[in-house]
Amino acid sequence: MTNEILNIFQIWDKQGRKVPFKVRRENWHPRYEVIVEKIECEKLPYGKAFGHSTEDGKSTDFFNHDSRYRKTGEIPCAGSYQWYSTKNENNENNEKLTLF
């Protein structure tokens, strides 16, 4: 499978600016994903993305090392070009995501 590597804001834009959606960093094991629940973006390609990490579909504390994430839920490194959408993996549909 080939996925286009982008930042979270570009993925959000390409998917019609709808939330929630799932992404993964290019170097993560397939068990790990982030569910993006909110985007604040005044001008592409950067802004703030909020959500939570999951492992095997269950919420985790993966980002709790980051003080900004602990305070606001802002996803670390959302503007880095290391993310891809997991929307089409396993025939899953982002519209059926469970938010925690």
Tell whether 37 is covered by a domain: yes
Tell whether 65 is covered by a domain: yes
Tell whether 41 is covered by a domain: yes
Domain that holds residue 56: 8-87
Sign of CA dihedral 51, 55, 59, 61: negative
Model confidence, pTM: 0.85
Tell whether 75 is covered by a domain: yes
In this prediction, residues 55-64 reach a mean pLDDT of: 93
According to the model, what pLDDT value does residue 91 have? Answer: 44
Tell whether 43 is covered by a domain: yes
According to the model, what pLDDT value does residue 36 have? Answer: 98
Phi, psi values for residue 96, rounded to 5°? -105, 20
According to the model, what pLDDT value does residue 89 have? Answer: 65
pLDDT (tens digit per residue) in 27-53: 999 999 999 999 999 999 999 999 999
Count of domains in the chain? 1
Tell whether 95 is covered by a domain: no
According to the model, what pLDDT value does residue 2 have? Answer: 54
| 89 vs 75: CA distance, rounded Å | 22
Token representation of residue 45: 């390609």
Mean of the per-residue pLDDT values of the chain: 89
Supply the DSSP symbol for 3: -
Helices (H), 3-83: 8-14, 67-72
Does 75 score more than 90 pLDDT? yes
Tell whether 100 is covered by a domain: no
